[in-house]
Amino acid sequence: MSTKSPQVLVIDDDPDIVKAAALLLSRHGIDVTGAGDPDAAWVKLAERRFDAILLDLNFARGQTSGDEGFAMLERLIAADSDAVVVVVTGHSGISVAVRAMREGASDFVIKPWSNERLLATTQRAIDLARAKRAVAPAPVGGDGAFLLGEDASIVRVRDLVAQVAPTDAAVLVRGPAGSGKSLVARALLAGARRGGTVVTVDGGGTVPDLPADGTLVIEDVDAIPRAAQAEWVRRCGTTRIVATSRLDRAALRAALIDDLLYRINTIEIDLPPLRDRGGDAVRLARHFLDLFAARYARPAKPIGDEAARAIAADRWPDDVRGLRQACERAVLLGTGAVHDVADFALSVDIDDPVPRAIADLNLARGEKAMVAAALQRHAFNVSRAAAELGLTRAALYRRMDKHGF
C-alpha cells in the first residue's frame, strides 16, 4: 500500500467550498488542491496526477444545467480513462448526478454535504484510483497526458483517441514536429486495456525483442531504413504498434514498404498544426504561462492584448513545442505587469525586431494600423512609439515612410 498522502483536486468556483473540503480532508491525511474553473484545473492536472477529482457541475453564475461540468467530465475521461471523478451537485441535482455517473463519474456528493459522506466518498474514490493504477500504471513523462484545446480539429483528435485507446488496433500518429505526437501516444497508452511491456524506440534504431502482449511505440517510423523494414515487420509479430511520423500520407507511403505501412496504420490520427487551430494558440499560451508560473514560483500574469494578437497570428514553426518554450521563457524573463510581445521573443531579426507574427500578416492593414495606434498613443513621439513596438527609431521611420505617415 502506498504511504504517500493521497492527492485530491477540488474543482469549484466557490472558494469557501474548496476551503471546507480542504479543512475536512486534510485532517484525515488527504492533500487538497483547489481550482476555481476547468481552465485552472488543467494547469493543476498538468503539474501532477491526482488520486481523485471532486468536480462541481456549474461554474457560471446562475447556471444549473451542469453543461460546463459535463464537458469537463468528458474531457477528463477522454484524457485518462482511469481518472476517478466524484461530481458535486446541489439538492435539486440528483438526476444530474445520475447522468454524470452514466457518463463516467465514479460517485456523487450532494451540497450541502455531510462531512461523513464527503470523507467516505472521497476515500472510496482514492481506493478505486489506486486499485486501477496497481493494474495499469500510468505512463511516465511530460506534463500530463492531456490534449488541450477547443478547436474542432483537436476535439476530433481527442474523440478518436478515446475511441481507439481501449482497443489493440495499431495506430499511426502524423503531424508536424512539435505538434504533440508523443503526447497522443501517451494518451493512447493511458487508455489502453492491454497490459504488458511498453517499449519506445526510434525508427533509426534496431527493433527489440517483444513479448506478444506488449506495445511498441515507434517514433519517426519513416526513419527505419528501407532494407530493414521487412525484418521489423517479422519481429513485431502480434505486438500492438503505435507509430509516429512527421511525413504526410504520400511521403510516408513512398518511405515505407507496403507490409510495414499496413502493419502500422489500422487507425490514422492526423494532428493539425497549431497555426490551423483557431484560438487555441492563445488558450495554450495561457495554460503554459500558468503552468510555468506555478513551477517557478513566479506571479501569474495575463497576456497583453498586443501579445495575444501576435500569438494568435504567428505561424509557430516549432508548433506547440515552440509555444511552450516561448511561454517558459516569458515567465522567466518577463518583467512587466503583463506579458507583452517582447516577452515571447517573436522578432524577425535583431536589426528590425517587428513581432514575427505581425511580419506574417498582411502588413498593408495590420502593420499600418499598429504603427498608427502607437504613434497616436504617444502623440507622435517617435522614440516612445518605437519603444512600445519593440522597434528601433530607424525601423519605425522606415515603416512611417512606407505607410505615408
Of the listed ranges 103-117, 121-135, 383-397, the least confidently predicted one is 383-397
- pLDDT over 50 at 362, yes or no: no
Q: Looking at residue 211, what is its pLDDT?
A: 63
Q: Domain tally for the chain? A: 3
pTM (predicted TM-score): 0.63
pLDDT classification of 344: cutoffs 50, 70, 90? confident
| Grid cell locating 272 | 493539425
The Cα 255–Cα 220 span in angstroms is: 11
- Tell me the residue range of the domain where 194 lies: 152-272
CATH number of domain containing 347: 1.10.8.60
Q: Please indicate, yes or no, if residue 278 is contained in any of the structural domains.
A: no
Q: pLDDT tens for residues 293-320?
A: 877 888 889 999 888 888 988 888 889 9
pLDDT classification of 92: cutoffs 50, 70, 90? low
Tell me which of 210 and 144 has the higher pLDDT: 210
Same domain, yes or no: 367 and 260:
no
Same domain, yes or no: 268 and 291:
no
Same domain, yes or no: 130 and 20:
yes
- pLDDT over 70 at 192, yes or no: no
Same domain, yes or no: 331 and 389:
yes
- pLDDT over 80 at 348, yes or no: no
Mean pLDDT of 166-182: 92
Same domain, yes or no: 111 and 189:
no
In the chain, % of residues over pLDDT 90: 31
Same domain, yes or no: 185 and 161:
yes
pLDDT classification of 173: cutoffs 50, 70, 90? very high
Residues in Cβ contact with 299 at an 8 Å cutoff, skipping those fewer than 6 apart: 293
Q: Please indicate, yes or no, if residue 147 is contained in any of the structural domains.
A: no
Q: pLDDT tens for residues 8-61?
A: 999 998 899 999 999 999 999 999 999 988 888 887 887 778 999 999 988 866
Q: Looking at residue 318, what is its pLDDT?
A: 87
Same domain, yes or no: 179 and 238:
yes
Same domain, yes or no: 262 and 332:
no
Mean pLDDT of 119-128: 92
Same domain, yes or no: 265 and 323:
no
- pLDDT over 90 at 243, yes or no: yes
Same domain, yes or no: 249 and 173:
yes
Q: Please indicate, yes or no, if residue 2 is contained in any of the structural domains.
A: no
Q: Please indicate, yes or no, if residue 281 is contained in any of the structural domains.
A: no
CATH number of domain containing 110: 3.40.50.2300
Q: Are 346 and 314 in contact (CB under 8 A)?
A: yes
pLDDT classification of 194: cutoffs 50, 70, 90? low
Same domain, yes or no: 328 and 355:
yes
The Cα 373–Cα 279 span in angstroms is: 24
Which has the closest alpha carbon to 239: 205, 204, 192?
Answer: 192
Same domain, yes or no: 258 and 326:
no
Mean pLDDT of 128-137: 69
Mean pLDDT, the chain, whole residue set: 82
Q: Looking at residue 365, what is its pLDDT?
A: 43
Q: Please indicate, yes or no, if residue 187 is contained in any of the structural domains.
A: yes
- pLDDT over 80 at 403, yes or no: no
Mean pLDDT of 364-370: 59
Q: Please indicate, yes or no, if residue 279 is contained in any of the structural domains.
A: no
Last residue of a domain, one of 272, 305, 339: 272
- pLDDT over 80 at 357, yes or no: no
Q: Are 392 and 347 in contact (CB under 8 A)?
A: no
- pLDDT over 50 at 141, yes or no: no
Q: Please indicate, yes or no, if residue 146 is contained in any of the structural domains.
A: no
- pLDDT over 80 at 356, yes or no: no
The Cα 331–Cα 1 span in angstroms is: 39
Last residue of a domain, one of 107, 135, 163: 135
| Grid cell locating 58 | 456549474
CATH number of domain containing 211: 3.40.50.300
Q: Please indicate, yes or no, if residue 145 is contained in any of the structural domains.
A: no
Last residue of a domain, one of 100, 135, 170: 135
In the chain, % of residues over pLDDT 70: 85
Q: What is the DSSP string of 210-263?
A: --TT-EEEEETGGGS-GGGHHHHHHHHTT-EEEEEESS-HHHHHHHS-HHHHHH
